[in-house]
């Protein structure tokens, strides 16, 4: 059985990742593919437990370094229990966030050491890098407006505008520095237009048809 494909969606708050992950999964399923829709932090039983610890509570609950270690404990479980088995049986995996979020949130946003994050990527993720990472970009004010309208803010979303601006810059830098893996998507237009840009990226990078 040929290995499936691994696609991640990344970006700051309210860029529309969940909306587009859902739409992309529907479109691939309509083409007859098995699709596993998942998310981070989370995506396996153990990782979902860690998600609760990471997102609830006060701002001071965890330092950026502790968050990094918890995210990587969750990511390891997610890879072992969900992502690797799905890819091995030929399924396409769509993850709403993955390792770039740790680089941006805990690294660029929170100041966790880059060397530590790189070492964790190497040992925990290894060769299982995404085949395609869609980096969704909108101006910070628009993203926060969208996210705020959707739900109560969790402990990470509630950080100040400077933090969110550092995130945006970090995601743009990631997209520019890894052009073979990443594809930058202008996520400001209406959802149908964003979905069309994503499908073009899928055709160009992964050769999907229709």
Q: Is the dihedral of CA 41, 46, 48, 49 positive or negative?
A: negative
Q: Tokens for 209?
A: 């048809």
Minimum Å gap between C-beta 35 and ligand Z5A is 17
Calpha distance 143→9 (Å, rounded): 15
Calpha distance 118→133 (Å, rounded): 17
Closest to ligand Z5A by CB, 68 or 132: 68
Closest residue (Cβ) to ligand Z5A? 16
User: Interface residues with ligand Z5A (CB under 6 A)?
Assistant: 13-19, 39-41, 71, 97, 101-102, 105-106, 146-147, 149-150, 154, 156-157, 187, 190-191, 194
Calpha distance 38→135 (Å, rounded): 17
Calpha distance 183→11 (Å, rounded): 12
Closest to ligand Z5A by CB, 5 or 102: 102
Minimum Å gap between C-beta 146 and ligand Z5A is 3
Calpha distance 102→73 (Å, rounded): 12
Minimum Å gap between C-beta 30 and ligand Z5A is 20
CB-side neighbour CA atoms (13 Å) of 110: 22
Closest to ligand Z5A by CB, 13 or 77: 13
Closest to ligand Z5A by CB, 92 or 102: 102
Closest to ligand Z5A by CB, 2 or 190: 190
Minimum Å gap between C-beta 88 and ligand Z5A is 22
Q: Give the chain's radius of gyration (CA, Å).
A: 16
Closest to ligand Z5A by CB, 4 or 16: 16
Minimum Å gap between C-beta 49 and ligand Z5A is 15
Question: Are 157 and 147 contacting, i.e. CB atoms less than 8 angstroms apart?
Answer: yes
Report which of 37, 12, 15 is spatially closest to residue 27, judged by C-alpha positions: 37
């Amino acid at each position: 059985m040929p290995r499936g494909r691994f696609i991640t969606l990344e970006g700051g708050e309210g860029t529309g990742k969940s909306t587009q992950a859902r739409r992309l999964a529907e479109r691939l399923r309509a083409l007859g593919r098995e699709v596993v829709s998942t998310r981070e932090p989370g995506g396996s039983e153990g990782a979902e437990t860690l998600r609760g610890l990471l997102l609830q509570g006060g701002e001071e609950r965890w330092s950026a370094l502790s968050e990094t270690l918890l995210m990587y404990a969750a990511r390891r479980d997610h890879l072992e229990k969900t992502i690797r088995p799905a890819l091995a049986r030929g399924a396409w995996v769509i993850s709403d966030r993955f390792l770039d979020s740790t680089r941006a949130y805990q690294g660029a946003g929170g100041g966790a050491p880059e060397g530590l994050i790189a070492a964790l990527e190497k040992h925990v993720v290894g060769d299982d890098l995404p085949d395609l990472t869609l980096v969704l970009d909108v101006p910070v004010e628009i993203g926060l407006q969208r996210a705020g309208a959707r739900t109560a803010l969790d402990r990470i979303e509630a950080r100040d505008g400077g933090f969110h601006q550092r995130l945006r810059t970090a995601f743009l830098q990631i997209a520019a520095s890894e052009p073979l893996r990443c594809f930058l998507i202008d996520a400001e237009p209406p959802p149908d237009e964003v979905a069309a840009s994503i499908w073009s990226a899928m055709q160009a990078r992964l050769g999907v048809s229709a």
